[in-house]
Structure 1
Amino acid sequence: MALINKIREKSGVAVTVIAISLILFMVGGDLMGPNSFLTGGNNQSVGEIAGKEIDIKDFQNRVDGYRQNYEAQSGRSLGENELASLRDQAWNQFIVDIAYKKEFDDLGLTVTDQELVDMVQGNHLSPSIQQAFSDPTTGQFDKSAVINYLKNLKTLPIEQQRSWANFENNLKEERIRAKYENLLRLSTYTPKAQAEREYMAQNTKATINYLYVPYFSVVDTTIKVTDAQLESYLSEHRDEYKGSDTRSIEYVTFPVQPAKDDSASLYQEIKDLARGLATAENDSAFATMNSDINLPINMSMANMSDQLKEAVKTFVPGGVYGPYREDNTYYIYKYDGIRKDSVSTARASHILIRAENQSDSAKAAAKTKAEGILAQIRAGANFEALAATSSADPGSAQRGGDLGYFQNNGAMVKPFEEAVFSMSSPGLVNKLVESQFGYHIIKVTDPRSNTLYRLATIGKTIAPSQSTRDEAYSKADQFVNSVSNKEEFLEAVNKNKELVLATANRIPETATNVNAIQNGREIVRWAFNDRTSLNSVSQVFETEDEYIVAVLTGKSDADKVKIDDFRDELTTKVRNQIKSEQITAKLKGATGDLESIAKKYGAGALVESATDITLATGFLTSAGFDPIALGKAFGLKPGSKSDVFSGENGVFIVELINKTEAPKIADFTQYKTQLTQSLEGRTSYLANEAIREKAEIKDKRAKFF
């Protein structure tokens, strides 16, 4: 402002205009922005919790505090994704301070000073304290380190003292939250009658025959669904369809891919670095200074890429090897021999057989199945093929059971880890291993080893040159300038065979990513901007490796649920209702056995059987798990047949062949425990949902960030 006054004194009216312009420039964002006073958007609230407005300044102060602590501990500035995470943390803390605190206060929950001392340095230490003061090498907690830290706390910089005060405050909040959840858990109760019903559901068995006509047997195109029918269905089932503020877009991307010249340039650079690495006095420091990717100096097989695992076997101490290319990164390694680690590494595959439920009979059946598979493998059957077809672990099953490399540091459950690391050579573990997940059949493919390879690594990622980026941007810019609405957008995409149209539906206002697009916040902000109308085309958005142009195709409003918000789901529901009516009308009044009824019905009708099914785990071959059909079946008398009825995915007629009632027992403790533990496991989630719903939270952060 001193500069402005000086200019005004010398230049009169003309410079006064300049001064005003400077003022507008400096504060223009506040005056003319979306939350400005002049435009009427002076609301500085980032949200509302239990009727209390959260001011942007208070919210930002909390975020800044978190950021300062984080940067002080990590020694680096935050990235955008990390900052977004801290904003979420700050927002959730406001929810705790306002909505949760009321619940805690109503129950009289507190943490006394004596209790805090006990948590920090007493006999009942907080897990957070144990983690913060554990030896990074051995993992062992050092209580004396806590005592020494507290003795010297007042001599530490003020920032560290504040950090400790915040840490203790968090410990208190964790303890109060734990007390609250424990109180709720301990209040759960399962009546004997409910436990008895669960026992009956798990142990009463039935054999049934059923006629099943799936909805999909009627071709969708033969069923016409009108908007009036959709509206009627939505009106009748309004509680099932909760509204939300979302946006849907279609978009095209213009990738920024390194050109051939970019790759050649980097290849020459990394060859020069290889010569420097070979002669560097401190090779690890040289590698750290020149690498785009930080890798540990001492690497086990668990840390290595597949390519490096094979290559390192040929390395000689003192040698420099590479470059090796993995995706868009070139690597060179200087090898300095091996050393032994306190932690061992191994590689194994497994086949997991899981019980259908926690009953003794289900566990026995799973064990029998696992023993049968183990016997097949011992007899020469292919482990990988059986893993692919039989394992209940979908992640490893598609890799033939392979779990990759892991260490004996608790990465795997204890029984599994003990079995693998007891093997000194590759091969099949000659027994079943039971864990809380089920029965494991284990094959050790690379036995335990505590060998570490000392490798100074430089990784350089191929980055597109500025000319390459400019070329990609030019294509995106030409595209966006050639279209002005959705129709022109789609027409231009169809004409350009290089472009691929992608869709992102029901994007929430707080989203940071859009499908696989990282850091897509600007796209989301554009889609939610009040000035962005349906079918309008965006500007060019830039990410690290591509440019994006989008068109807004849909909007939904939390307070105004429309059929378009759930059109696909509603159409399926209404279409199935119509199909059900048509199938039922055709089967109504049919007589004879199920086979003859199916024959009269024609194509689409299936007659199947299910033996020894239960209400808890009944599975019908073609219909899958259908609780309506199971309930109807178990409600029949042996030898009787139901009327036509609609199930989850089709129309049924069910015939009960026989039913074996569960044996009489006096003690239902096992089933009572099962139900109670299940309810206790959901307590935290259910309490959280109830408190948030009662607080009527309105999150407006997306308008600011």
Structure 2
Amino acid sequence: MALINKIREKSGIAVTVIAISLILFIVGGDLLGPNSMFGGNNNQTVGEIAGKEIDIKDFQSRLDVMRQNYEAQTGRSAGEQEIVALREQAWNQLVIDIAYKEEYEKLGLQVTDDELVDMVQGNHISPAIQQAFGNPTTGAFDKSAVVNYLKNLKTLPLPQQQSWAAFETSLREDRLRQKYENILRQSTYVTKAESEKEYVAQNTKASLRYLYVPFYSIADTTVKVTDSQLEAYLNKHRDEYKGADTRTIQYVSFSVVPAKDDSIALYNEIKTLARGLASAPNDSAYARMNSDIPLPMDMSYANMSDQLKEAVTTFVPGGVYGPYREGDTYFIYKYNGTKKDSLYTARASHILIRPENPSDSAKAAARQRAEGILNQIRGGASFEALAATNSADPGSAQRGGDLGYFQNNGGMVKPFEDAVFSMNGTGLVNRLVESQFGFHLIKVTDAKTNTLYRVATIAKTIAPSQATRDDAYRKADEFANSVKTKAQFDEAVKKDNALVVSTANRIPETATNINAIQNAREVVRWAFNDKTDLNDVSQVFETDEQYIVAVLTGKTDKDKAKVDDFRDELTAKVRSQLKAEQITAKLKGASGDLEAIAKKYGAGALVETAEDISLATGFLSSAGFDPIALGKAFGLKQGQKTGVFTGENGVFIVELTGRTDAPQIADYTPYKTQLVQALESRTSFLLNEAIRDDAKIEDRRAKFF
């Protein structure tokens, strides 16, 4: 009997041991992982917002719901990039729920159920609802479609019901934020004195002569900057140089490049697909099923590649053409003729002349300038050259005014579209076109057309075979196993001329890419791992089409900003200061006119003039926009000359040769409107920054993802 009792006792212990073992087996990853309690990190908070800790499990639950909604709406699984975006969305939602909610409650802001109904199916429909239930053909909103959808909502699958509930929640949150921002926006106020000051800054004109010695006139190599000088500058300007948690790495990459055999295999596959495309009863379905890149069946000439544009004019309906190679992709086309589109496409260039301000006199001056340029073009001057030097649209100016292809669907402002699409053929629009942006001079470079080419396309990209990938990995692995320190890393690179060392400076902890390398999150996580020390060499990491071996070469800490964190910027600042001291010492006490002073100074000193410039937009030829120099100049009386002073990028002596004060006006409303609009346009951004700053947000997501 005693023996039986002993067995029972022992069996109880055995059962307990087995149970504990099973629990450890099941949850071992959670308990023993790098972020676990027993793995050395019992902090399971993904961050903190307004004093509230966010548990990783709560965050993951919210993320899972968003992911389910996304997949229910799109009908496909979320990829890595989508998950990264959803993770960011989940975090921002938490910021709104916690930090913003406090502000809403202080003001008693809310969105009632009746208001939500009005937004969804009432008299004040939300733009999001209008977009979701717009007619796919005409774009027109149909309220009855919303009503019918809601009537049938309970019969829809549960994921769709949950998705709609989440959508309505987002409508409430968006409306709350709009209310809050509108309160702040309505509080924007500009005084008459501020309006008058802006008017004077824009309309007072000055003419200057100035001596300018740019910093670049002294070679950097002749100015030695010491660490003690850098340290002193940093200590004096610490509020300008905020610390950050970053890492710097050097790395070598082993590219997975398709081999010759891979290209031959794909070329043979393309020829087989060409025969299949030629005989397919439904060529568009066949093309979609076999193409690596989805391409439209109907293409406008504007949307074609340059190679296809050149070839398509020789195609015969029913024919199969190709393969054409562009980069690593082969294309084959089956041509089925043309059809007409409801929209026209054209290509044009423009020169934009924008008035300096909304006043009638400024508009008249801009019109006069635009007409002068138009007359030059009529006389044979180059439109492209004049666009590069005169257009107020910097994006197109550097391309000679080219705006590319566009359609008559509202993508351009209406007066511009009307002018382009009223042209038959190409050439200069022989008049000025005025829009809210200013005066446009327009040249149609590709005539309007509504012809669509019906082309079934199969695109196949050369992909490396598994053997090619294995060979690249073998080389990377051999390299990683042969080096354990930075010195060994450098020595191994010297021995292999095929390897190139790249540097990624100051990578933030949340980075997903390194330089041009996509999906490099694992490299970043390694660099920020507490166990990774300076000069440690990594294992092999696989990224998009290459393998990476990295060495950690630098760390910065947000709480300990050091000279090395900002060495290049600090060196440039201190070197400029030392150059300014040299130039000032050489100019100090100089007398005579500016030419005499420049001659005495010697090489590097420039004497230039600036005519009829304003304080708001003044531009100096060699010095560019220099607010210090402009401020000094507009503080002078006519005929006065400043002493030697340091500007943004050099040292000056400025003389005011002429000044025309802005005439008195009775109404400063246009300038008040300008200032108010500028402030209002920044309300959303500034509000978001202020709330986040006040919430003292700590984002630790990078420790988990």
TM class, shorter-length: over 0.9
Per the TM alignment, residue 379 of structure 1 is displaced from its structure 2 partner at its CA by 2.6
Distance 1:373 1:488, change over 3 A: farther
Distance 1:379 1:312, change over 3 A: same
SS at match of 1:463: coil
Distance 1:397 1:623, change over 3 A: closer
Tell me how far apart the structure 2 counterparts of residues 313 and 69 of structure 1 sit (CA, whole Å). 46
Q: Tell me which residue corresponds to 2:78.
A: 78
Per the TM alignment, residue 359 of structure 1 is displaced from its structure 2 partner at its CA by 5.0
> What amino acid maps onto 2:652 in structure 1?
F
Kindly provide the CA deviation profile for residues 178-208 of structure 1, in whole angstroms up to 9, marking residues without a partner as x.
Answer: 1111111111001111111111111112222
Per the TM alignment, residue 100 of structure 1 is displaced from its structure 2 partner at its CA by 0.8
Between 1:483-492 and 1:218-227, the stretch displaced more is 483-492
1:301, 1:405 within 8 Å by CA — same for their partners in 2?
A: no
Tell me how far apart the structure 2 counterparts of residues 284 and 529 of structure 1 sit (CA, whole Å). 50
Q: Tell me which residue corresponds to 1:673.
A: 673
Q: Tell me which residue corresponds to 1:233.
A: 233
> What amino acid maps onto 1:274 in structure 2?
A
SS at match of 1:46: strand
Q: Tell me which residue corresponds to 2:621.
A: 621
Between 1:295-304 and 1:25-34, the stretch displaced more is 25-34
1:610, 1:620 within 8 Å by CA — same for their partners in 2?
A: yes
Distance 1:592 1:383, change over 3 A: closer
Does 2:237 correspond to 1:258? no
Q: Tell me which residue corresponds to 2:6.
A: none
Tell me how far apart the structure 1 counterparts of residues 425 and 81 of structure 2 sit (CA, whole Å). 44
2:626, 2:647 within 8 Å by CA — same for their partners in 1?
A: yes
Counterpart mapping for 1:90-489 below 5 A: 90-358=90-358, 360-489=360-489
Per the TM alignment, residue 265 of structure 1 is displaced from its structure 2 partner at its CA by 0.7
Distance 1:423 1:129, change over 3 A: same
Kindly provide the CA deviation profile for residues 265-318 of structure 1, in whole angstroms up to 9, marking residues without a partner as x.
Answer: 101101111111122222222112111111122222233222222222222222
Distance 1:203 1:399, change over 3 A: closer
Question: TM (normalized to structure 2)?
Answer: 0.94
Q: Tell me which residue corresponds to 1:3.
A: none
Per the TM alignment, residue 252 of structure 1 is displaced from its structure 2 partner at its CA by 2.1
Tell me how far apart the structure 2 counterparts of residues 362 and 473 of structure 1 sit (CA, whole Å). 65
SS at match of 2:560: coil
> What amino acid maps onto 2:51 in structure 1?
G
Tell me how far apart the structure 1 counterparts of residues 692 and 272 of structure 2 sit (CA, whole Å). 58
Per the TM alignment, residue 698 of structure 1 is displaced from its structure 2 partner at its CA by 0.6
Kindly provide the CA deviation profile for residues 432-472 of structure 1, in whole angstroms up to 9, marking residues without a partner as x.
Answer: 22334433322222222222222222111110111111222
> What amino acid maps onto 1:210 in structure 2?
Y
SS at match of 1:253: strand
Tell me how far apart the structure 2 counterparts of residues 281 and 191 of structure 1 sit (CA, whole Å). 73
2:477, 2:540 within 8 Å by CA — same for their partners in 1?
A: yes
Distance 1:345 1:14, change over 3 A: farther
Counterpart mapping for 1:514-663 below 5 A: 514-663=514-663
2:358, 2:670 within 8 Å by CA — same for their partners in 1?
A: no
Q: Tell me which residue corresponds to 1:694.
A: 694
Per the TM alignment, residue 664 of structure 1 is displaced from its structure 2 partner at its CA by 1.4
SS at match of 1:537: coil
2:278, 2:320 within 8 Å by CA — same for their partners in 1?
A: yes
Distance 1:388 1:33, change over 3 A: same
Distance 1:498 1:396, change over 3 A: farther
2:291, 2:459 within 8 Å by CA — same for their partners in 1?
A: yes
Tell me how far apart the structure 1 counterparts of residues 12 and 171 of structure 2 sit (CA, whole Å). 62
Tell me how far apart the structure 1 counterparts of residues 498 and 388 of structure 2 sit (CA, whole Å). 37
SS at match of 1:340: strand
1:213, 1:606 within 8 Å by CA — same for their partners in 2?
A: yes
Tell me how far apart the structure 2 counterparts of residues 364 and 642 of structure 1 sit (CA, whole Å). 35
What stretches of structure 2 of length at least 5 have no aligned partner? 1-10
- In angstroms, what is the RMSD of aligned CA positions? 2.3
Q: Tell me which residue corresponds to 1:511.
A: 511
1:153, 1:161 within 8 Å by CA — same for their partners in 2?
A: yes
Distance 1:93 1:333, change over 3 A: same
Give the number of equivalent residue pairs: 695
Identity of aligned residues (%): 75
Kindly provide the CA deviation profile for residues 449-504 of structure 1, in whole angstroms up to 9, marking residues without a partner as x.
Answer: 22222222211111011111122222222222232222332343344332232222
2:540, 2:547 within 8 Å by CA — same for their partners in 1?
A: yes
1:302, 1:407 within 8 Å by CA — same for their partners in 2?
A: no
> What amino acid maps onto 1:106 in structure 2?
K
Distance 1:254 1:20, change over 3 A: farther
Distance 1:513 1:359, change over 3 A: farther
1:242, 1:558 within 8 Å by CA — same for their partners in 2?
A: yes
1:493, 1:499 within 8 Å by CA — same for their partners in 2?
A: yes
What stretches of structure 1 of length at least 5 have no aligned partner? 1-10
Tell me how far apart the structure 1 counterparts of residues 496 and 352 of structure 2 sit (CA, whole Å). 48
> What amino acid maps onto 2:183 in structure 1?
L
Q: Tell me which residue corresponds to 1:8.
A: none
Per the TM alignment, residue 244 of structure 1 is displaced from its structure 2 partner at its CA by 1.5
Question: TM (normalized to structure 1)?
Answer: 0.94
Per the TM alignment, residue 570 of structure 1 is displaced from its structure 2 partner at its CA by 1.0
SS at match of 1:611: strand
Distance 1:267 1:51, change over 3 A: same
Per the TM alignment, residue 642 of structure 1 is displaced from its structure 2 partner at its CA by 1.5
Does 2:37 correspond to 1:37? yes
